[in-house]
Amino acid sequence: MWYQLIPKMFDSIFRGVIMIASNGHEKKRIETKTEVSHYISILKYAIHSGYAKITLQRNRFVDTEKDERFTNHFTIDNLFPDEDSVDALKRELHKIEIENYIETVEDTRYPTRSEMRVFGKKYGNDDVYIKIRAELMKSSVEGVNDVVYIMSFHYAEWPFTNHDFPYL
C-alpha cells in the first residue's frame, strides 16, 4: 500500500532529524513550490503520525551574544507561557504552510549535511524566524526511528516583508 512508503519517503527526504543551524557560510536558493510543498507534507506526516520524536534545545551557545528577545527560550516562554515547549512547537511546526517558506540554504561549512529550510511566521505583531535542517539520527527511544530536533525558534531580528516570501 502507498502508506507503507511514507517511512522510506521520510528517510530519503528528511534524513531523520530536523534541526536549525546557526549563521555561517551559506548558499541560498528558492525551491520550487512542489518541492517545498512535498517537504512540508512529509514534516506534517512525521509530526502527526508520531513517526518522529520531537526534542528541543532551549538554550544555545550562540544565544549568549544575542539580545535575549531574539533567543529560543525567551520567544518560546513569551509565546507559549503556560504550555509544554515541545507540545507547543510540535503544534506550530504542524501549522507551517508553503506561504511561510522563505528560502533553502546550503551550509558550505558542512557540505555533507543536508540543506536547511527557512520559514517565517507572524505571531500578533511579531515575526518568528524558523530554520530547520534534516539529518539522519537514530533515536535511543524504542520504536522511534527518527527524531525532530528543533534547535532554533525565535523572534526575527529584522521584520519580514512580503518580498521575503516567494509563495505568498
Helix axes 6-14, 33-49, angle to 10 degrees: 120
Exposure string (b/e) for 114-129, b if CB count within 10 Å is 16 or more?
A: bbbbbbbbeeeeebbb
Q: What is the pLDDT of residues 8-51, one digit of tens each?
A: 444 444 433 334 334 456 689 999 999 999 888 878 887 787 76
The pTM of the full predicted model, rounded to 2 decimals, is: 0.77
Q: What domains are there in the chain, each with its CATH number?
A: 2-164 (3.30.2310.40)
* H helix runs in 50-79, sequence order: 72-79
Cβ–Cβ < 8 Å for 46, 148:
yes
Residue 41: all three cell numbers together? 507534507
